[in-house]
Amino acid sequence: MTAKIEINTGAAAAKLAEAQKLLANGSSMFQQIAQVLEAETERNFQAQGRPSWVPLKASTIATRKKRNNGGSVMRILQDSGTLAASISTDYGGDFAQVGAGGAASAYAAVQQFGTTVERAPYSTKVRLRTDTKGNLLRQGKDGKLAVFAKDSHKRARESWHEVGAFTVKIPARPYLPFLGSAQSAVLQPEAERSILDVVTTAIAASLS
């Protein structure tokens, strides 16, 4: 699912309506607005939210460090850079929009708006490695951690475990320059001010 914004609310929308009545062709103005939307999106990534996004969980930080030997990027929503790279804009004679999708389509909207996932109970098979005598292999400083076995490992002990129902809550981290739900989104103050500057300049130029 992609996420996108079109300007249709607030003071900017009213000013846009006024400008469209005066301009024979609004494409140039809407092109500038699209550029503003993209620039404000980039600033959101740089600032890690305006207002600040919910911080990364300690478990997420630990996973990144382990995966990349301590050298992983700890910036929010920028682990792989796929989401930021998927940002695109479009404009025409009567609209400007910014969105995210492409390679990030599966989670672009989820990160913008947040969501709650309800997981039903399920059964899972666990395979643990054993030695030649059938004893579980151990690891860790105190030797208490079992070693998971791959399907290719022949010496393994298998068991089934029940996992109860649980809820996963993904917080909203609005990287596109608007706040609120998809149904009632409003422009971020910084984006609205920049867009109003563009529109005011276009109106002044049309009257000169």
Give per-residue pLDDT as tens, 49-78: 999 999 999 998 888 888 877 666 789 999
> What pLDDT digit, counting tens, does each position of 77-130 carry?
998 899 999 999 999 888 889 999 889 999 999 999 999 999 999 999 999 999
Alpha-carbon gap, residue 123 to 188, rounded angstroms: 45
Alpha-carbon gap, residue 134 to 111, rounded angstroms: 46
In the prediction, which pLDDT does 10 show?
A: 61
Task: Look at residue 111 and give its three-state secondary structure.
Answer: helix
User: DSSP character for 129?
Assistant: E
Of 15 and 50, more confident: 50
Judge if the upstream peptide bond of residue 51 is cis by omega within 30 degrees of 0: yes
Apex 91 CA angle, 89 and 92, nearest 5: 165
**pTM for this predicted structure:** 0.75
Question: Where along the chain do its domains lie?
Answer: 3-118+171-207, 121-164
What is the rounded average pLDDT of the residues 177-205? 88
Q: In the predicted model, is pLDDT for residue 7 greater than 60?
A: no
* CB-based contact 126:137 (threshold 8 Å): no
